[in-house]
Amino acid sequence: MKKVIAFDLGASSGRAMVGELNNNSISIREIHRFLNEPVLVSGTLYWDVLRLFHEMKKGLLKAGNEGDITSLGVDTWGVDFGLLNAEGKLLENPVHYRDTRTKGILKAVQEKMGLEDLYRITGSQLMEINTAFQLFSLAAHRKDFLDRAKTLLLMPDLFNYFFTGKSYGEYSIASTTQLLEAGESKWSGEVLRALEIPKELLPEIIPSGTVLGPVLEEIREELNLMPINVVAVAGHDTQSALVAVPAEEKDFIFISCGTWSLMGTELDSPLINEKSAGYNFTNEGGYGGKVSFLKNLTGLWLIQESRRWWEKEGSSYSFSQLEQMAEEAEPFLCFIDTDKEEFSLPGNLPERIRNYCRDSGQRVPVTPGEIVRCIDESLAFKYRMVLEEIGDCTGLSYERLYMVGGGINSALLCRMTACACGKEVMAGPVEATVYGNVALQFAAAGDIDGLPALRSIIRQSADIAVYSPKEQNEWQEAYNRYKAVLSNGTV
Ligand code: LRH
């Protein structure tokens, strides 16, 4: 039996997971879990990167004690990066994308390059958090600092570098930067010039699934490890998750449900036109050169952050308690536009949701159950809206939706999605990102060949639940009300 280790760094925790391949089936289990909390210092929100690397080493130590681990792979969320100096030392702690340095930045960007041109070249959804704009902010406000930087490494690449000493840009994570030519493994000279970002900063791009080489001798000695390779898996968590979508059909809709909801379809080449620009779809690069035509939607962040707020107020609820309360709350009380900017920053989200409902002339949710139900229904309707937008862009209709990721632990959300979209929902695996990360390591070792084979192994390995649409008249009527709220801001 072959064993690998996947490091998956998510919004509040990081995990070391051991993956095993046995008779064409993959099993995964957690061996180490640690916090991944950003740290606010002197007004800047940082990654606690050295602590994380230390925890990853602890995970390796535990895995190493079991023996027979052949490789490791790291995935994180997109867009964030660290900068190395000429000696290969990390210059500063990487900054978290929820830092305020890019708030409102697109106005200034527009003076350097038209946003339409930026979209046409990169095919990336315009989001303030993108690497391009984080760098633009540095070039504008901290030029001296940027001048000292020699190499930029996106977060999974940075950890790979810490492990191996090799600095490369893995393709999937590179494509979250808004600096790549759409569908190409090539940095865009035009965008870099316009935003005054030095081209030399950017590393050579390598395909997802490349074997980078062995873990450094010094780390092996420190941890008393056998030789182990580092694989540059799809470092972008979303793209590792997409490898694990259990679809058999070529054209399918996926929703990767976590802090964000990434909803889209898989294509062979980028789709960039007026419609896709109008809807602000991104063309993200994935394993095997596939393109994910998707939208970043706010996801469970709304519930996570509300829960944090209630905790601060002295009431702590588990996610399953909140789901139970939402289940019992009145249906279709009120709706919000889950992607409104006011919901993206940390703070008193329940109050912001109440204000939104009041301002739009709706009934105001009071209890946590009502708030969570309002969030879940609004998310499900957002999925319906984006499903229609995808169909409008591709000209295709889709039979079912595939939902993966931690968000599908909420059976309520899966059920609501099936009802709101009027489609069957296949939900699973919950641990899609880890399955993808692990599977890509086995593929890199030559044990699995190609995306269809990877997905067939996932189908055999993971639990998949099916939800069917119900009560279509009620859901259709409520969807019309939801759309009215979003288009007028009032009902
Ligand atoms: C999801 C995700 C998403 C990115 C965002 C920053 O974890 O990687 O795909 O756009 O985080």
Q: Name the residue at shortest CA distance from atom 7 of ligand 1.
A: 77
What pLDDT does 12 receive? Answer: 84
**315, two tokens:** 């009431």
Cβ of 97 less than 6 Å from ligand 1? yes
Both tokens assigned to 79:
């867009």
Q: Give residue-wise pLDDT tens across range 281-305.
A: 999 999 999 999 999 999 999 999 9
Helix residue ranges, H only, 284-345? 301-312, 319-328
Cα 362 to ligand 1 centre (Å): 32
Q: Whose CA is nearest to atom 10 of ligand 1?
A: 78
User: 78 CA distance to ligand 1 centroid (A)?
Assistant: 5
| Predicted local confidence at residue 343, as pLDDT | 94
Q: Is the pLDDT of residue 67 over 90?
A: no
Structure token pair of residue 387: 């499903």
Q: Give the whole-angstrom CA distance, residue 465 versus residue 459.
A: 11
Q: Over the stretch 139-182, which tens digit does the pLDDT of each residue have?
A: 999 999 999 999 999 999 999 999 999 999 999 999 999 999 99
> Distance from the CA of 256 to the center of ligand 1, in angstroms?
10
Mean pLDDT of 406-431: 97
pLDDT digits (tens, 9 = 90+) for 342-371: 998 889 999 999 999 999 999 999 999 999
81 lines ligand 1 (CB under 6 A): no
The pLDDT of residue 64 is 84
Is the pLDDT at 240 greater than 50? The verdict is yes
Q: 87: burial class by Cβ within 10 Å (0-12, 13-18, 19+)? A: exposed
Q: Which pLDDT tens digit goes with each residue over 30-62?
A: 999 999 999 999 999 999 999 999 999 999 999
Mean pLDDT of the chain: 96
Residue with tokens 């340095």: 101
Which ligand 1 atom lies nearest to the CA of residue 260?
Answer: 1
Q: Which domains does the chain have, with CATH numbers?
A: 2-236 (3.30.420.40), 245-428+449-491 (3.30.420.40)
Reference 254, options 8, 428, 466; nearest CA is 428
Residue with CA nearest ligand 1 atom 8: 77
User: What is the whole-number distance in angstroms between the Cα of residue 296 and the centre of ligand 1?
Assistant: 7
Place 489 in a pLDDT band, splitting at 50, 70 and 90: low
For residue 99, give the 3-state DSSP assignment: coil
- Ligand 1 atom showing the smallest separation from residue 176 Cα: 10
Which atom of ligand 1 lies closest to the CA of 129? 6
What is the rounded distance in angstroms from the CA atom of residue 335 to the CA atom of residue 356?
Answer: 9
- Regarding the beta carbon of 439 and ligand 1, being less than 6 Å apart is answered no
- 80, 157, 237, 337: which one is catalytic? 237
The percentage of residues in the chain with a pLDDT greater than 70, rounded to a whole number, is 99
For a substitution probing ligand 1, which of 238, 257, 297, 404 has the most ligand atoms within 8 Å of its CB? 238
Angstrom CA distances, 290 to 184, 250, 268, 286, 383, stand at 11, 12, 5, 5, 22
The pair of three-digit structure tokens given for residue 218, joined into one six-digit string: 């010094």
Q: What is the DSSP letter of 180?
A: B
Measured from the Cα of 97, ligand 1's closest atom is 6
Q: How far is CA 93 from the centre of its chain?
A: 21
Q: Which atom of ligand 1 is nearest to the CA of 78?
A: 8
Q: Please name the residues in contact with 200: beta carbons below 8 A apart, sequence gap of 6 or more.
A: 150
Q: Of 49, 189, 174, which is closest to residue 113 (Cα–Cα)?
A: 189
Question: Could you tell me which of 293, 301, 299, 285 has the C-alpha nearest to residue 256?
Answer: 299
Q: For the whole prediction, is pTM greater than 0.90? A: yes
Q: Measured from the CB, is residue 296 less than 6 Å from ligand 1?
A: yes
Ligand 1 within 6 A of CB of 417: no
DSSP 202-252: SPPEE-TTEEEEEPPHHHHHHHTPPP-EEEE---BHHHHHHHT----SSS-
The count of C-alpha atoms lying within 13 angstroms of the C-alpha of 117, restricted to the half-sphere facing its C-beta, is: 12
Quote the ligand 1 centre to 260 CA distance (angstroms): 7
Query: Helix-strand-coil percent breakdown of the chain, rounded to 5?
Result: 45, 20, 35
Does the Cβ of 128 fall within 6 Å of ligand 1? no
Residue 239: band (very low, low, confident or very high) from pLDDT cuts 50, 70, 90: very high
User: Alpha-carbon distance 252 to 248, whole Å?
Assistant: 9
Please answer whether residues 17 and 6 qualify as being in contact, where contact means their C-beta atoms are separated by less than 8 angstroms: yes
Lowest mean pLDDT among 202-206, 344-348, 417-421, 459-463: 344-348
Q: Decide: 171 in ligand 1 pocket, CB within 6 A.
A: no
Gap between the terminal Cα atoms of the chain: 60
User: What mean pLDDT is predicted for residues 239-251?
Assistant: 97
Nearest to 38 by CA among 50, 47, 28: 47
Q: Which two tokens stand for residue 300?
A: 């469970």
Alpha-carbon distance of 234 to 240, in angstroms, equals 5
Atom 9 of ligand 1: nearest residue by CA position: 238
The rounded radius of gyration (Å) of the Cα atoms in the chain is: 22
Helices (H), 260-348: 274-279, 301-312, 319-328
User: 44 with 96: CB under 8 angstroms?
Assistant: no
DSSP annotation of 409: G
Distance, CA 255 to ligand 1 centroid (Å)?
12
Is the Cβ atom of 78 under 6 angstroms away from ligand 1? Answer: yes
Q: Would you call 44 helix, strand, or coil by DSSP?
A: strand
Measured in angstroms, how far is the CA atom of residue 25 from the centroid of ligand 1? 28
Residue 475 has pLDDT above 70, yes or no: yes
Q: Residue 271: what pLDDT?
A: 97
CA-nearest residue for atom 1, ligand 1, is 77
The reply to whether ligand 1 has any atom less than 6 angstroms from the CB of 258 is yes
- Helices 319-328, 411-421: inter-axial angle, 10-degree rounding: 40
For residue 197, the model assigns a pLDDT of 94
Question: Whose C-alpha lies nearest to ligand 1, atom 11?
Answer: 77
Tell whether the model's pLDDT for residue 491 goes beyond 50: no
Task: Assess whether pLDDT exceeds 90 at residue 424.
Answer: yes
Contact predicate 73/19, CB 8 Å:
no
CA 124 to chain CA mean position, Å: 14
For residue 347, which of 313, 305, 315 has the smallest C-alpha distance? 305
Instruction: Name the DSSP class of 353.
Output: H
Q: How far is the CA of 22 from the centre of ligand 1 (A)?
A: 31
DSSP H or E stretch at residue 426: strand 424-427
Residue of minimum CA distance from atom 2 in ligand 1: 77
Two structure tokens written together for 153: 């490494």
Catalytic residue flag (residue 237): yes
